[in-house]
Amino acid sequence: MSLHTEIIEQPDRIDSLLMSQKKNVENIAAEIRKRDIQYVFLAARGTSDNAGRYANYLLGALNGLPLALATPSLFTYYKQPPKLKNALVIGISQSGQSPDIVSVLEEGRKQNCLTLSITNDSRSPLTKASDFLLDIQAGKEKAVAATKTYTTELMSIAMLSTALSGDKKRWAELGGVSGWMRTVLKHDSAISQSAERYRYMDQTVVLGRGFNYSTAFEWALKLKELAYVKAEPYSSADFQHGPIAMLESGFPVLGVAPKGKVFNSMYEMLKRLRKELFAELVVISNDKKALALASLPLTIPTDVPEWLSPLICILPAQMFAYRLTQAKGYNTERPRSIRKVTETR
C-alpha cells in the first residue's frame, strides 16, 4: 500500500464509515443532548488539529456550539488546566497515542465533563480516557502523510453535527460525499501532468476562508511535509492585514474557493492577486469565474454543499502535493525528519 493508494481509497472508507457508525453517532448525539453542554473543548495536533478547525466552523454554524481549541501544555507542563464546566471535551488523534491529548480528556473526566475520542485505534490510550468513541475506521494508514485518516475525521465530525441537528436532508447530503470524491479523483492524471510546472516552487501561500480555512492549513501541511515547500496558510481576510505585502509578480498562491457564503470574498481576493499583483494561481473551486483566474484550475463538482466542501476540496490538494513531491524527486512514503506516530507532551 502506498500514499497514492490511500488517497484513492478514501471514497470507500467514507462509505464504510457512514454505514457502520451512523447508529453510534446518533447514540452519542442523544447523550450530548441530555447534558447541559454549553460549548466544545477540543484537543488535537497536526492534521487532526486541522480537522478541529473544520469542527470549529461546523459546530458553530450548524449547531450553535462555540468551540475552543485546547492548549495541551496547560495540562502537561504548566499543570494549570482551565475550568471546563458544561463542556463536551473532544480529543482527535489518528493514533490516539499522544500523551498531551490524552491528558486533556483525563482532566475533562476529572471535572465531570462528557468526553469523546475520535480516533483510528479503538484500543488506544485516548479511547480509554473517553466516555464515548467515534472510530473513524480508516484502516491501516502506512504512509507517513495522513490522507484517509484526515477525511474520515472530517466525516466523523460532519456526522456528529448532523446527528445533533436531526436534519434528514443533511444525512442525504452526507450520502453524496463518496460520489463527489470519486469524481474528483478522476482528475489525477491531469494533476500529475500539471505538477511539473511547479517543480521549482519552494514557497507559497495557501488561502481559504470559512469552512475551508481548515483546507488551507491541511494543504499547506502536506506541501511542507511531503514536498518541503515553505507553505503558509492564511484566511483570505487575515492575508490582507500585512502578509500580502510579500507578493511579487509570479509568486505562487494556492486558493480554496468553492461556492458558498464566503465565495465572493475569496473571489475578490483571487482576482486582485491575479489582475493587480500578477500572482500565479492554483485554485480549487466549482465556480467558473474563479477557475478562470488560475494557471492551474482544480475542479470539484458544482453541487457540493459548502458545509461538506472541505471533504471534497482536500482531495485535489492531496493529489497536487503527492504529484509535486514526485516531480521534485522526493520520497512520497517516508518524508524526512517525521514519523507516523508523534507522541507530544
- Residue 22 CA to residue 190 CA, distance in Å, equals 35
Q: Which fold has domain 179-327?
A: Rossmann fold (3.40.50)
Asked which of 116-120, 189-193, 214-218 is least confident by mean pLDDT, the reply is 189-193
Q: What is the pLDDT of residue 71?
A: 92
- Residue 208 CA to residue 234 CA, distance in Å, equals 7
Q: What are the tens digits of pLDDT across the range 8-21?
A: 999 999 999 999 99
Q: What is the pLDDT of residue 341?
A: 57
Assess whether the region 3-175 and the region 179-327 belong to the same CATH fold. Answer: yes
* Structural contact between residues 48 and 147, judged by C-beta atoms closer than 8 angstroms: no
Question: Across the chain, what does the average pLDDT equal?
Answer: 95
Q: What is the pLDDT of residue 1?
A: 63
pTM over 0.75: yes
Q: What is the pLDDT of residue 172?
A: 97
- Residue 258 CA to residue 286 CA, distance in Å, equals 5
- Residue 318 CA to residue 23 CA, distance in Å, equals 30
Q: What are the tens digits of pLDDT across the range 242-291?
A: 899 989 999 999 999 999 999 999 999 999 999 999 999 999 999 999 99
**Distances 194 to 111, 172, 244, 273, 295 between C-alpha atoms, Å:** 53, 35, 26, 21, 10
Domain ranges of the chain: 3-175, 179-327
- Residue 90 CA to residue 95 CA, distance in Å, equals 15
Q: What are the tens digits of pLDDT across the range 302-341?
A: 999 999 999 999 999 999 999 999 999 999 988 876 664 5
What's the rounded mean pLDDT across residues 171-177? Answer: 98
> Measured in Å, how far apart are the chain's first and last C-alpha atoms?
31
What's the rounded mean pLDDT across residues 118-141? Answer: 94
Architecture of domain 3-175: 3-Layer(aba) Sandwich (3.40)
What's the rounded mean pLDDT across residues 111-125? Answer: 95
Proportion of the chain above pLDDT 70, given as a percent: 97
Rg (CA), the chain: 19
- Residue 225 CA to residue 231 CA, distance in Å, equals 10
**Which long-range contacts does 301-307 make (Cβ < 8 Å, 24+ apart)?**
301/180, 301/183, 301/184, 302/259, 303/176, 303/180, 304/180, 304/258, 305/173, 306/210, 306/211, 306/258, 306/259, 306/260, 306/261, 307/58, 307/61, 307/62, 307/158, 307/170, 307/173, 307/211
Opening angle at CA 282, ends 7 and 333, nearest 5: 30
Opening angle at CA 309, ends 304 and 310, nearest 5: 160
Q: What is the pLDDT of residue 310?
A: 98
Q: What is the pLDDT of residue 334?
A: 85
The helix/strand/coil state of 289 is helix
Please give the DSSP secondary-structure letter assigned to residue 339. Answer: -
Which cell goes with 80? Answer: 494549570
